[in-house]
Structure 1
């Protein structure tokens, strides 16, 4: 692998001269020609990442994610990466492993690496986040969560949950279990629940109970049997597709038929929900497109352009086989 040192030796110039040339510094025409000739002969490709770190203004966007094994996170990252490449920027990923302290630490670490801006996919926005943003004076964009003082792109969790709630009610379900997550997560834990509640409040003959689990399929598998036993709902509305998959497995292990004995819905639109049988009815979010929107937005912020404080990504209710039409049983 050819290095700057090799180029300097072959061109008969100092290493600092080659570095100056690569960073568009002042170099004489004769020296420039010698360096260019050696670079062409050796097919040398400069390390764009290292060049960016040395420059006064970098083209690196730091991206912090809570986990890499999440469908939502991975597809959002794909969208960010593809769009940043088109805009001649690079993405530097930092994974926190769902550790909040590590997330705050990573904000400062990325700032030391001279990133031009940051995209965060946080599970929550705390005072520690806001303090870090204020101290570092870097363009910051939140994806998936929002805060009134920070530019944010969110999935329309509230309206999606409202529409999914209406869909469930239109299918004749009146004894409903909603299986959510901690309300520390505003998007998934609060907004999806509130949107669903709004749909329920428009009907007077519903019996609804609200339960909480984690984002884990395994935890849903453990928690769902007690919900079925104590409440016997006609449907379980799950706050994520992973929770819905866990609920589906739990129902099968109890010998229940989906959707005849129990209907199930999710949120997310993960590809696996279409592949399994029965396919899971879900509110599909367009994570890759949200990532592309995030990349365009952070670059605008880096360049000092105007941007709305809040932007919404699109969603669609996908109807599949996991929801029974209870109205047909009454005919």
Structure 2
């Protein structure tokens, strides 16, 4: 009865080998997925990026690699590793070429979100790998593997690598590469564990020591997790600090209009632009001393005061608002100019 719903170990191996065959149709699908994902990242469209992940075939060799390592099948391991490396290379090359010719060079939020992986990405990849191998063994069509492809996001990090190469942003390159390594490695590890739990027989042609492979996977998983834990810790600290700053402003500046707030991480300084009654020296000292009660003991406070807007005359208010808006426009212009300059410098280096 079981065979009516799930592949037997022999059938599953045959299915894996069939999926690892390099076909022209699969190559075209891969290129299409790369272009769709690159455009989605470029245009900051989450829906388009999800569409690219649904049609991407990158998931197949990763699951196959985990299967091969679990049953000690060196033939499957070699074949899946070659296909994975080929798909990764094609993805990076095609996405790099796209971003080189794209007129939009600034990093969208979709791109930036793929450059700072955390421990949660490890958990998602591992859970996705477990679900993926269970879904892959079922004979009936199901939405498990496509769902895993969306959750683990294998294609967007590869396209982000292509973007970072095109604009020579090496911090983005390292972050997106690390995210792809996390996703791939923990899908493989979860697949190995899943196959072992399913009690697939070890391949008869191989006599490799299983304990040695287990130790290798354990060491690799620990080494990969360490940076993600550090990144997650930093993210949690930023979230806590943001919450405490908002709480501080809500309680201590409730009688003021906060026109602008800027936390300078490098200087550990909170800069506020407020409108309201003048803050005298005594009250400023009290505000600075109250920072410690909000868990912001090491944060320095700088307050830029402007006259209360209600007391300004029509011309003065109009002049102030015009100046404030112009300052914001100048900030955005400077950012755009800097982004264009980086793009031009990158293009010159590439041409050279």
TM-score (normalizing by structure 1): 0.24
Name the TM-score, length of structure 2 as normaliser. Answer: 0.23
Hey, which of these two has a bigger chunk of helix by percent? 2
Structure with larger Rg:
2
Q: Which has the higher strand share?
A: 1
